[in-house]
């Protein structure tokens, strides 16, 4: 690093491993402890130095300089193995072109159409979950969220078996992602069963997406308006050549699936779990959903009236932001505030850390959906949960609608009885902050049984 204020190193680095053991043991507690050491804090993953930006102002400043703080670092290197050079992982010089092509599919005016598809799919999937069945809510919400994203990409006609296979491989990929990313390159070549499973799942997800894309193209878009049809029809500027090659289409399909499934599912699941542990919140949520929906599946026109549901979703996003630890690579010697950073440095930021800063949120450890009461001063969504600058989440509007629709659809049809021993802390670190296994029994609303609100003991991820 060149001259400038020195970045403090977090205490507790051990020879050889640095802070890796502490990070892997209890990543959230580790992150919460970092701001005490300064606005920028250096940590060591083995020999790899990572500068964690702990100050929200400096995080924003970093995110808007996306050409200097480019996508890179161990997480994005792994993401490229699955999603190639798709929108989420491509470098800045490629990003503007892709974002321009894809943005129309996510603009505000498209949300009612997305919501209609979501509602149609939820109507097929949510009531079919099965009265009296005991399920893992993490798995079920993920399956439904995967269906939402796949339907937005390919339209609604996919076979359920395809969904199932993709979901299984994707689960393996996500479960191993962060651990695999933090493993030094030579060790990743060791054929440990977990690594082999991860690599094979990555290859299968990509291959399946390639098959689906080829089939879709061969079938013709038939006038459908979905993400893939828009990308297939997109033309390069001043030419009639396709703007994206076949490989690039697959990159985008894998990217949307990876970026859009587990994120929303995880926040929805946390919202259900947190509400169940807070009987007052649960009661208000049920009252609102009962009044607005009267037992049916929600649609776009219900969203503005599901105000408290949105507050609960927001608060779940704040407490457990799905994208919790993200990295960048410094492309040229630069400064961030008074700190000098050298080309090649790895910088990280953490929406989890930001959303637990007492300077931004009073009692950040407390689950309080009333923070998000409309008209209260402050942001409308938790600061930083969707990133910022040019690389801000393209699916933020999609996710906010989907979250409200899915929470309300589930609670409109089901009383969800969490099992007291049903919550197992997730094996962190994972790519998203999902709550781990959540065992719950579903009872049709109005069937007489009541939800055991507040009775569950939660193994809180640390
Ligand atoms: C609650 C749900 C979601 C959360 C919390 C979330 C969070 C994020 C965050 C933090 C980033 C920025 C990553 C970075 O700067 O390194 C991001 C980017 C992205 N997200 Fe989301 N996301 C969610 C849902 C979705 C959905 C539903 C989709 C698509 C259907 C999606 C697609 C993307 C894509 C493509 C990017 C890359 C954007 C770019 O670089 O231009 N996300 N998301």
DSSP H or E stretch at residue 175: helix 160-182
Is the beta carbon of 432 within 6 A of some atom in ligand 1?
no
Distance 451 CA to ligand 1 centre (A): 33
Q: What is the mean pLDDT of residues 422-440?
A: 78
453 has pLDDT over 60: no
Q: Which residue, 395, 414, 421, is CA-closest to 262? A: 395
DSSP 209-239: HHHHHHHHHHH--TT--SHHHHHHH-B-TTS
Helix (H, G, I), strand (E, B) or coil at 417: strand
**Quick one: pLDDT at residue 357?**
97
383 has pLDDT over 80: yes
For the chain, count helices (H), then strands (E). Answer: 17, 11
In a domain, 458, yes or no: no
In a domain, 211, yes or no: yes
d(CA 170, CA 166): 6
In a domain, 2, yes or no: no
Q: Whose CA is nearest to atom 26 of ligand 1?
A: 260
Q: Which residue, 412, 118, 442, is CA-closest to 289? A: 412
Two tokens, residue 253: 């399909």
Total-model pTM: 0.92
**Residue recorded with tokens 């894809």:** 102
With cut-offs at 50, 70 and 90, classify the pLDDT of residue 183.
confident
pLDDT in tens, 252-304: 988 898 899 999 999 999 999 999 999 999 999 999 999 999 999 999 999 99
The ligand 1 atom nearest the CA atom of 63: 15
In a domain, 248, yes or no: yes
Cα–chain-centroid distance for residue 168?
Answer: 17
With cut-offs at 50, 70 and 90, classify the pLDDT of residue 68.
very high
**Quick one: pLDDT at residue 452?**
38
| Cis amide bond preceding 429, omega within 30 | yes
Q: Which of 46-55, 138-147, 353-362, 418-427 has the weakest average pLDDT?
A: 418-427
Helix (H, G, I), strand (E, B) or coil at 185: helix
**Quick one: pLDDT at residue 462?**
55
Domain limits for position 188: 8-444
H helical segments located in 302-430 = 307-319, 351-354, 396-413
Distance 446 CA to ligand 1 centre (A): 37
Beta bridge pairs of residue 438: 423
**Quick one: pLDDT at residue 422?**
66
Q: Whose CA is nearest to atom 3 of ligand 1?
A: 263
In a domain, 460, yes or no: no
Two tokens, residue 175: 């479960």
Crossing angle (nearest 10°) for helices 262-276 and 279-293: 110
CA angle, 306 as apex, 275 and 445 as ends, to 5°?
Answer: 60
In a domain, 454, yes or no: no
In a domain, 449, yes or no: no
Is the beta carbon of 256 within 6 A of some atom in ligand 1?
yes
122 has pLDDT over 60: yes
φ, ψ dihedrals at 249, nearest 5°? -65, -40
Q: Whose CA is nearest to atom 20 of ligand 1?
A: 393
Is the beta carbon of 258 within 6 A of some atom in ligand 1?
no
Distance 395 CA to ligand 1 centre (A): 6
In a domain, 1, yes or no: no
Q: Which of 151-160, 201-210, 245-254, 449-458 has the weakest average pLDDT?
A: 449-458
Is the beta carbon of 399 within 6 A of some atom in ligand 1?
yes
d(CA 240, CA 226): 20
222 has pLDDT over 80: no
**Position with higher pLDDT, 343 vs 151:** 343
Q: Whose CA is nearest to atom 19 of ligand 1?
A: 393
Q: Whose CA is nearest to atom 18 of ligand 1?
A: 393
Is the beta carbon of 269 within 6 A of some atom in ligand 1?
no
120 has pLDDT over 70: yes
Is the beta carbon of 394 within 6 A of some atom in ligand 1?
yes
**Quick one: pLDDT at residue 278?**
94
- Best residue for ligand 1 mutational test, from 100, 318, 384, 393 (most atoms within 8 Å of Cβ): 393
Mean pLDDT comparison of 62-66, 198-202, 218-222, 452-456, highest-scoring range:
62-66
The answer to whether 54 touches 41, Cβ cutoff 8 Å, is yes
User: Which pairing describes strands 326-330 and 346-349: parallel, antiparallel, or unpaired?
Assistant: antiparallel
CATH number of the domain encompassing residue 395: 1.10.630.10
With cut-offs at 50, 70 and 90, classify the pLDDT of residue 425.
low
Burial of residue 360 (CB within 10 Å: 0-12, 13-18, 19+) is: middle
d(CA 29, CA 26): 6
Is the beta carbon of 226 within 6 A of some atom in ligand 1?
no
Is the beta carbon of 263 within 6 A of some atom in ligand 1?
yes
Two tokens, residue 322: 């799905």
CA distances from 288 to 15, 308, 419 (A): 55, 7, 24
451 has pLDDT over 60: no
Q: Whose CA is nearest to atom 1 of ligand 1?
A: 264
The answer to whether 269 touches 439, Cβ cutoff 8 Å, is no
- Best residue for ligand 1 mutational test, from 98, 141, 146, 263 (most atoms within 8 Å of Cβ): 263
> Which bin fits 27, alpha (ψ -120 to 50), beta or left (φ > 0)?
alpha
d(CA 442, CA 434): 20
Distance 393 CA to ligand 1 centre (A): 4
**Position with higher pLDDT, 266 vs 432:** 266
Distance 298 CA to ligand 1 centre (A): 24
CA distances from 205 to 78, 81, 197 (A): 14, 11, 12
Percent of the chain at pLDDT > 90 equals 59
d(CA 439, CA 419): 6
d(CA 33, CA 238): 53
**Number of domains, the chain:** 1
With cut-offs at 50, 70 and 90, classify the pLDDT of residue 457.
very low
Q: Which residue, 30, 87, 92, is CA-closest to 329? A: 92
Q: What is the mean pLDDT of residues 145-154?
A: 88
439: which DSSP letter?
E
Distance 87 CA to ligand 1 centre (A): 10
């Amino acid at each position: 690093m060149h001259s400038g204020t020195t970045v403090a190193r977090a205490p507790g680095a051990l020879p050889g491993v640095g802070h890796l053991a502490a990070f892997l043991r209890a990543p959230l507690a580790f992150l919460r402890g970092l701001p005490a050491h300064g606005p920028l804090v250096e940590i060591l993953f083995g020999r790899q130095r990572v500068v964690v930006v702990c100050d929200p102002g400096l995080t924003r400043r970093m995110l808007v300089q996306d050409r200097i703080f480019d996508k890179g670092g161990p997480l994005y290197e792994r993401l490229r193995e699955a999603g190639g050079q798709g929108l989420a992982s491509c470098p800045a010089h490629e990003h503007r072109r892709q974002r321009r092509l894809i943005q129309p599919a996510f603009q505000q005016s498209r949300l009612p159409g997305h919501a209609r598809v979501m509602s149609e799919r939820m109507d097929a999937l949510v009531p079919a979950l099965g009265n009296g069945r005991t399920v893992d809510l993490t798995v079920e919400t993920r399956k439904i969220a995967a269906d939402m994203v796949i339907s937005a990409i390919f339209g609604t006609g996919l076979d359920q078996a395809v969904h199932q296979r993709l979901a299984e491989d994707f689960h393996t990929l996500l479960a191993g992602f962060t651990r695999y990313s933090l493993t030094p390159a030579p060790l990743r070549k060791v054929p440990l069963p977990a690594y082999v499973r991860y690599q094979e799942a990555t290859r299968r997800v990509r291959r399946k997406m390639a098959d689906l894309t080829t089939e879709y193209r061969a079938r013709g878009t038939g006038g459908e308006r979905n993400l893939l049809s828009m990308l297939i029809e997109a033309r390069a500027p001043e030419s009639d050549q396709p703007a994206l090659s076949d490989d690039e289409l697959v990159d985008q399909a894998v990217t949307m699936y990876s970026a859009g499934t587990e994120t929303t599912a995880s926040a929805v699941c946390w919202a259900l779990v947190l509400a169940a542990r807070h009987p007052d919140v649960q009661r208000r949520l049920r009252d609102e959903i009962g009044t607005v929906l009267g037992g049916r599946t929600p649609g776009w026109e219900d969203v503005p009236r599901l105000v408290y549901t949105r507050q609960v979703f927001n608060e779940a996003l704040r407490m457990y932001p799905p994208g919790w630890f993200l990295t960048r690579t410094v492309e040229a010697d630069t400064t961030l505030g008074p700190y000098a950073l050298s080309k090649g440095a790895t910088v990280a930021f953490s929406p989890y850390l930001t959303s637990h800063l007492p300077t931004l949120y009073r009692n950040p450890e407390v689950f309080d959906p009333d923070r998000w009461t409309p008209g209260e001063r402050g942001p409308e969504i938790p600061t930083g949960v969707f990133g910022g600058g040019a690389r801000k989440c393209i699916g933020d509007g999609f996710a906010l609608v989907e979250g409200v629709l899915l929470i309300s659809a589930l609670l409109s049809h089901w009383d969800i009885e969490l099992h007291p021993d049903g919550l197992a802390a997730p094996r962190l670190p994972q790519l998203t902050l999902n709550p781990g296994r959540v065992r719950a029994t579903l009872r049709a609303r109005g069937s007489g049984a009541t939800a055991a609100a507040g009775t569950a003991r939660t193994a809180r991820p640390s």
